[in-house]
A and B are shown apart, each in its own frame.
Chain A
């Protein structure tokens, strides 16, 4: 884009240009995806990989049809999504208050942060064996692992949100004699919401990445199980179906759900500063 073209900053042409730019980006992105599938097909046709381990795109489509028809896709997706939601909701319910308290009190920060910093780098997967010992195979242990690997980003982000909240809002609350509860509900939480949402986004992402590993080891349902089970049946096409489903659900929830929450809240309030 040349600088010379930049005329007076009128809203309308600018918007039009942006929309055209967007569709160009969409075309570029879509084109790359199509090219990827074509390369995939080419590798298959040229026999560069053994066919029993490397299905064609079309075989994957057929496998999708099969999995949808016999209900396995829906059942396992449902199981994974349910665990994911439980884990993320638990992480939010526990993590937001902890983050608020940590942000508000330097004493509690000093007391808890060292421990948290120590536990935080342990990958979620490492908790799986212990989780199985504690909760057995299945729902509870998977939810525990999602919860435990995801809660940190909610905690740390909420804490940062509170710490960076303008002291002036606190001054206003104090001048008008707001109770601690009103202050938390009406000032602290909404004021930290941009950070809380970012934290939950990360929690969600971490959870969704961990869930597959967890289900491979400690479950007999779920998309992780579907993928792992396909190994025993020599069904790489089914594995790829599971992987694509994971990608789609991850993409949809990121782009729809959290963007929707942001549009309803921080964007509406003019508080969104950065673009993810």
Chain B
């Protein structure tokens, strides 16, 4: 279980102080798929980076299986929105990077990486460099890289945000397929209500800045989910209503910021 308690985050720069997160408490069960949904700038990425151990929280704590953690750890892996593949490594080396960092030998690394490339259907591209790949393929590689280290927790920051609708749907299904087969805990940041509903066991809706948890919506519907049913449409309306308030509040905040700056 991943437990976040009383988490606050304040960014202090020379010009300004921004409170990004206040009083976040959240329990995520093993194998659960949780989405973070909220208006732009509400601190979703911040929360995910704290969970990844990339930045420290200002106060509060995080524990995995009851053990408090600070900093990155081998039980967590992250998938970034713009893939963050190393352009100078082949697809195979990119997928194997996490294993290389763990000191896994070359033969074993290649074996595991190839297996994951198979899982995402990119075995033919093992020897290519990332810039030959489409956005969807790059994100598949990035997902393969994360699964290669066999993490218990997978953190994904708008992984499909830069992709076109068609590719996006394909990758959602693929992610669900791999997730079902390997049962990781997934924390998934998204802007898309539909995506959150299609994928998640629970949706954590956050407020406009400073980010707090507004509500948590549980989705017991079995997968694969048919988004065309009236049940799912009702779900979408429900989430849209909750999120809508925050989006307009965030917009007002942004307006105020711009007035202050101008």
Q: Are A175 and B100 in contact (CB under 8 A)?
A: no
Indicate if B225 sits at the interface (CB-CB under 8 A).
no
Binary per-residue interface labels of chain B (110-121) against chain A in the complex, 1 for a CB within 8 Å, 0 otherwise: 000000000000
Shortest Cβ distance from residue B52 to the other chain A in the assembled complex, whole angstroms: 6
Quick one: closest A residue to B94, CB to CB? A172
Q: Does B86 lie within 8 Å of A169, measured CB to CB?
A: yes
Cβ contacts under 8 Å, B129 to chain A: 268-270
Cα A10 to Cα B42 in complex, Å, equals 44
Residues of A within 8 A of B87 (CB): 269-271
Determine chain A's interface SS by DSSP, over half rule. Answer: helix
A187 at the interface (CB under 8 A from B): yes
Asked if A193 and B54 make an inter-chain contact with CB atoms under 8 angstroms apart, the answer reads no
B149→A176 contact, CB < 8 A: yes
Interface centre among B49, B97, B149 (most CB of A within 10 A): B97
Given that A168-B82, A176-B77 are known contacts, is A190 also in contact with B101, CB under 8 Å in the complex?
no
Within 8 A of B (CB), among A183-203: 186-187, 190-191, 193
- Whether a CB of chain A sits under 8 angstroms from the CB of B125 is no
With A178-B101, A179-B101 known to touch, is A187 a contact of B54 (CB < 8 Å)?
Answer: no
A-facing mask of B85-108, CB < 8 A → 1, else 0? 011110000000110111000000
Q: Bound state CA distance, A268 and B98, in angstroms?
A: 23
Q: Could you say which of B86, B102, B131 contacts A177, with CB atoms under 8 Å apart?
A: B102
Hey, which chain A residues are within 8 Å of B179, CB to CB? none
Q: Shortest beta-carbon distance, A272 to chain B, in Å?
A: 10
**Chain B residues with CB under 8 A of A191:** 86, 88
Flag A156-173 by CB within 8 Å of B: 1 or 0 each: 000000000010110111
The CA of A270 and the CA of B130, in the complex, are separated in Å by 8
Q: What residues of chain B lie closer than 8 Å to A269, measured between beta carbons?
A: 87-88, 129, 131
- The contact string, 1 if C-beta is below 8 Å from chain A, for chain B 156-178, is 00000000000000000000000
- Residues in A with CB closer than 8 Å to B52 are 171, 175
Say whether B101 contacts A176, CB under 8 Å. Answer: yes
B86, B98, B131: which contacts A190 (Cβ < 8 A)? B86
A186 / chain B contacts, CB cutoff of 8 Å:
86, 89, 97, 100
Residues of A contacting B53 in the complex (Cβ-Cβ under 8 angstroms): 174-175
Closest A residue to B81 by beta carbon equals A168
In the complex, the answer to whether B97 meets A176 with C-beta atoms within 8 Å is yes
Which residues on the B side are within 8 Å of A266 (C-beta)?
Answer: 88
**Residues of chain B with a CB closer than 8 A to A178's CB:** 97, 100-101
Q: Which of A176, A178, A266: most chain B CB closer than 10 A?
A: A176
Distance between A254 CB and nearest chain B CB, rounded to angstroms: 23
Chain B contacts for A173, CB-based, 8 A:
101
Interface flag for A182 (CB, 8 Å): yes
Q: A187-B86, A191-B88, A270-B87 are in contact. Are A177 and B74 (CB under 8 A)?
A: yes
B184 contacts chain A at the CB level, 8 A cutoff: no
Give the complex CA separation of A166 and B80 in angstroms: 13
CB pair A265 B88 closer than 8 Å: yes
Most buried by B among A166, A172, A177, A190: A172
- Which partner residue on chain A sits nearest B85 by CB separation? A172
When distances are taken between beta carbons in the complex, the residues of chain A under 8 Å from B89 are 186, 190
Kindly state whether residue B239 has any CB partner on chain A within 8 Å: no
| CB-CB under 8 A for A182 and B88, given A177-B72, A269-B129 | no
Contact, CB under 8 Å: A175 / B72: yes
Q: Complex formed: what's the CA distance from A172 to B39 in Å?
A: 25
Q: Is B77 within 8 A of A175, CB to CB?
A: yes
The answer to whether B203 has its CB under 8 Å from any CB of chain A is no
Measured in the bound complex, the distance between the Cα atoms of B221 and A59 in whole Å is 92
Q: Which residues of A contact B77 (CB under 8 A)?
A: 175-176
In the assembled complex, B37 has its CB within 8 A of some CB on chain A: no
Those of B49-94 within 8 Å (CB) of chain A: 49, 52-54, 72-74, 76-78, 80, 82, 84, 86-89
Residues of A whose CB lies within 8 Å of any CB of B are 166, 168-169, 171-179, 182, 186-187, 190-191, 193, 265-266, 268-271
Name 29 A/B residue pairs within 8 A (Cβ), A-sorted. Answer: A168-B82, A169-B84, A169-B86, A171-B49, A171-B84, A172-B80, A174-B72, A175-B53, A175-B77, A176-B72, A176-B77, A176-B101, A176-B102, A177-B72, A177-B73, A177-B101, A178-B97, A178-B100, A182-B101, A186-B86, A190-B88, A190-B89, A266-B88, A269-B87, A269-B88, A269-B131, A270-B87, A270-B129, A270-B130
Q: List the 9 closest pairs (A to B, CB-CB), nearest first.
A: A270-B131, A190-B88, A176-B98, A178-B101, A176-B101, A269-B87, A168-B84, A269-B88, A175-B78
